[in-house]
Structure 1
Amino acid sequence: MRLDLHEANRLSWNAATVAHNSHKADQAAFFREGGSTLFPEERDLLGEVAGLSLLHLQCNSGQDSLSLARLGAEVTGVDISDEAIGFARRLSVESGIWAQFEREDLFTWFEQAASSRRLFDRVFTSYGTICWLSDLDVWARGIASVLQSRGRFTFMEFHPFAMVFDEKWQPHHDYFNTAPIEEGGVGDYVAESEDGLIPGDKSAGIVGFRNPHRSYEFYWGVGEVVSALIGAGLTLEKMVEFPYANGWRGFEGMRDIGGRRMVPPANMPSIPLMYGLVAVKP
């Protein structure tokens, strides 16, 4: 584990979260008017959540957490960013949708939850999450430790194959990479994705954001994810790959084919841009 790099990422996320939310208009009003930030793919993999306890890992600013709570789940969101959790708590109050939010490094939170014997019916995490974690086996064992028997883990993530390319679709990164990658800080991908990641009204917000804190990413292949979950004692129930990315315009010339589903330019072949899976605790 590299908790020192997790801490560096916490500082970087604190700065980036302010920029991200600056582009979204009145989010509380969006939720009060019935809005949801969930995509159909997540809802399909999650299934019915009404009346169930649901743990949302790396919940960021809580928008998906509140969308899940609106579906009737009893939601607990966990994130390393002070800024994100503070925003999520305010948004819960202002929107009138209840969810519990806890700020902690995820690995530390797993230890605390296990010692307190906290258990959940569902665990969920999505989009750009595991790249911030330094040990996938600790992640998978932590998930297994807080799931009830027959509890389900639902995961949606950008496909690691797509991360081989730079923003101009040129091969740039190794798929098989065991070392952390130092970056210039978490960027303003919300602004770069335009309306792809803003389902409600938008505002100009912070322009030309530059993160003062560097960040560190870890690359995990699909096989490593599946093996970690199986090694933690979970049973893989379903896995699906998608030829589009929900909301995120991470590469040059991406097109919206409807429903904020982003695909490569028309002259490019179809490649996997996103994948999801469901694993069950026996």
Structure 2
Amino acid sequence: MTNEFHEKNRLSWNAATAAHNSHKGDQAAFFRNGGSTLFPEEVELLGGIDGLDLLHLQCNSGQDTLSLARLGANVTGVDISEEAIRFARDLSAQAHIPATFHRADLLTYFTEQARTPGRYDRVFASYGTLCWLSDIDAWAQGVAHSLKPGGRFVLVEFHPFLMIFDEQWEMRYDYFDHSPIASDGVSDYVALSREGLVPDGYEAGFEAFVNPHPSVEFFWGIGDVVSALAKSGLLIEQLREYPYANGWKGFDGMHDSGGRRMVPPQDTVRLPLMYGIAARRPE
């Protein structure tokens, strides 16, 4: 069933990626003019990456990948979507920022790369990645095997506690239910978040997008993620929680508190909306 789930998600992401990029205008010009899609949190956790070999997991259409390359890293991006990788390669060429991109199911990629472990100084993933993984332990092992001794893994992700709420902030979903979650497909969350996810000016693009392909998501709590990384042999150096979500307006009434940090309505108590992890492979 895992392969069937991943195949559904590949098709769903192919459709959604085209919709997402339709809102972003001339991205090549954005990058040629010095633009970056990174937020301060991931830059801080990564530290200096100039001259380092970096693996970007679930890189989507490559915008963050190219932003990392602009900081001096030798970056390889991996994503399950053909549409995303095609766009990323074109964007890399048009922006004149070199990077390497591979189209692969991430867990399959890790299995194939197990023959050549320890290739990267940094491994990085961010924002809405873990919910597409059917096996968190295999993921963590792949991360660990990809790192050179002394290399670091950085994850910035939306907080799983947030996922107990429906879009109207009503508690509806069981935090401890790990059953696969079927949905109507990857949404056009860029249209929902608008300027939050489009720093160079939002465009209408595809309107009222409906994904023709359903998708399947998986829920992993922070305990699942940290335990998987620890079991893989990585040392957890930092675990941070943030009361805002970078860029993403996933719930009613969310607004920009400054710097594209999205927060709940003003009458809502502060909640953990995002978290970051930095982990190191021992020397």
TM-score category (smaller protein): over 0.9
Match of 2:150?
150
1:180-191 map, 5 Å? 180-191=180-191
Match of 1:100?
100
Distance 1:71 1:215 in 2: 34
Match of 1:84?
84
Amino acid at match of 2:144: A
Q: Say which SS state the counterpart of residue 37 (structure 1) adopts.
A: coil
User: How much identity, in percent, do the aligned residues show?
Assistant: 62
1:115 positional shift: 1.6
8 Å contact 1:188–1:209 — kept in the other structure?
A: yes
1:4 positional shift: 1.5
1:255 positional shift: 1.3
5+ unaligned residues in a row in structure 1: which ranges? none
Could you give the per-residue CA deviations for residues 212-256 of structure 1, whole angstroms, max 9, x where no partner exists? 000000000000100000000000000100000000000000110
Amino acid at match of 2:86: G
Could you give the per-residue CA deviations for residues 72-115 of structure 1, whole angstroms, max 9, x where no partner exists? 00000000000000000000000000000000000110111112
8 Å contact 1:26–1:201 — kept in the other structure?
A: no
Q: Say which SS state the counterpart of residue 85 (structure 2) adopts.
A: helix
Match of 1:227?
227
1:158-169 map, 5 Å? 158-169=158-169
Match of 2:60?
60
5+ unaligned residues in a row in structure 2: which ranges? none
Could you give the per-residue CA deviations for residues 150-180 of structure 1, whole angstroms, max 9, x where no partner exists? 0000000000001110110011111011210
Match of 2:261?
261
Q: TM-score of the superposition, structure 2-length normalised?
A: 0.98
Match of 1:273?
273
Q: TM-score of the superposition, structure 1-length normalised?
A: 0.99
State the number of aligned residues.
282
8 Å contact 2:117–2:147 — kept in the other structure?
A: no
1:70 positional shift: 0.1
Q: Does 1:132 align with 2:132?
A: yes
Distance 2:117 2:161 in 1: 37
Match of 1:73?
73
8 Å contact 1:244–1:261 — kept in the other structure?
A: yes
Runs of 4+ in 1 over 4 A off after TM superposition: none
Q: Does 1:36 align with 2:20?
A: no
Match of 2:198?
198
1:119 positional shift: 1.0
Report the aligned-residue RMSD.
Answer: 0.8
Q: Say which SS state the counterpart of residue 114 (structure 2) adopts.
A: helix
Distance 1:157 1:138 in 2: 18
Could you give the per-residue CA deviations for residues 103-160 of structure 1, whole angstroms, max 9, x where no partner exists? 0000110111112346100000000001000010000000011100000000000000
Amino acid at match of 1:149: P
Match of 1:218?
218
Distance 1:88 1:75 in 2: 12
Amino acid at match of 1:143: V
8 Å contact 2:118–2:148 — kept in the other structure?
A: no
